[in-house]
Amino acid sequence: MRLWYQDVEIIILHDACKGEDIIKECVEHERKKYEPLGKVTKVTIGVDDEGYLTSSAEFTKIPFDRIRRITGYLAYDNKINSAKTEEIKDRISHQL
């Protein structure tokens, strides 16, 4: 079965779930898991060999220019505050 919830395409395999609440829960679970990586566009809901509900997602990737490690933290270049920007300027570059 194929349907839509908000802007996400839902694929339900083998009548895995009948309730709208379960579908919403699966979509929100996949969004929490993948939204930092990109926008969730499709969720597939099924049942595994042991009868447990499973879900998987497809998402569009968020483009980025560069990720830097600053004082032990990874950050996108466009999300660095002014103090970290000054720290980057003050660094000494050691070249071989």
34-49 pLDDT, tens digit each: 877 778 889 998 888 8
pLDDT at 32: 87
**pTM, two decimal places:** 0.55
pLDDT, residue 38, reads 79
User: Tokens for 12?
Assistant: 């339900």
What is the structure's pLDDT at 74? 60
Is 33 or 66 the better-scoring residue by pLDDT?
33
**11 membership: H or E segment, kind and range:** strand 8-12
65-96 residue pLDDT tens: 666 665 666 666 666 678 777 877 787 777 76
Query: pLDDT digit string (tens) for 51-67?
Result: 888 888 888 877 766 66
CA–CA dist 24, 7 (Å, integer): 12
Contact 63, 72 (CB under 8 A): no
